[in-house]
Amino acid sequence: MTNFFQDKLAVITGAGGLLGSAVAWELARQGARVALLGRSQAKLDAVGVGRSFCVDVTDAGARAEVARTLGSVAFLINAAGGNQTEDTTTLSEFFPDELDGTARGFFSLDPDRYLDVIRVNTMGTVIPCQVFGREMARQGCGAIVNFASMNSYRPLSRMPAYGMAKAGVVNFTPWLAAYLALAGVRVNAVAPGFFVNERRQNPHDRRRRADAVRTQRDGAHAHETIRATVGPVGSRALVVERRTGGLRHRHRRVSGRRFPRIVRRVTL
């Protein structure tokens, strides 16, 4: 696999985050040249590999300029995304307190913040696919991996916008895979579970202790996620994989003569 990635250019959006940085390290370890894209220069510098570009994931103009600077791109990993505290309810179900403003429920969510979450998770995936996928289609090869979430399939009680946006990523990915099949560009998605990060290590968070207990298990989960991400980048098949508990659901898309067909395999 090292020979496959050797000296090929991989662009990772959201590269300063937990998953994006881990994927960048693994691709660099396997010989790829990596370009790190993100909004925080300090976080990109901390990754310690590749070349960094501090840009907004939804800024098409900035992305296009980066694409012109980099030239031919072999792989695109869309790891940018996230949620906002202002768009997370404090209630898991309706309670009259939210009507008088003493609690933040669905009726008190700011539509602008709601749109921000949808924009960064959906358009933050679509725009890089347009910008970097254009050159892949022109050269007749390439691989794109999008990050979805377990929230794509099972909504979290207090995060309506995030789940809505990540469900859109799952829907968009096979559409783009079928669209770009004849161009020779593979498109996949990985839907990881939950990880301990800076947002989940707040000392006032009641879940901190439970998160600490899960850290060791999450370490193995992170390793599986990296393998599931890097694997489709180097694979000849189009795979959408998600993991729920002990079940692994694997959707393999195999290109036919003209239109791809879909084969589903479920393993325990």
Q: In whole angstroms, what is the distance from residue 173 CA to residue 180 CA?
A: 11
CA angle 66, 144, 83 (to 5 degrees): 80
Query: Given 114, 153, 162, 179, which residue is catalytic?
Result: 162
d(CA 152, CA 245): 15
Alpha-carbon gap, residue 145 to 239, rounded angstroms = 10
Closest CA to 135 of 63, 36, 51: 63
162 is catalytic: yes
Which long-range CB contacts under 8 A does 150-154 form with residues at least 24 apart? 150/191, 150/192, 150/193, 150/194, 150/242, 150/243, 150/244, 152/191, 152/242, 153/191, 153/242, 153/244, 154/244
Place of tokens 């060791």: 216
| Separation between Cα atoms, residue 35 and residue 120, nearest integer Å | 19
165 within 8 A of 117, measured Cβ to Cβ:
yes
Positions annotated as catalytic residues are: 162
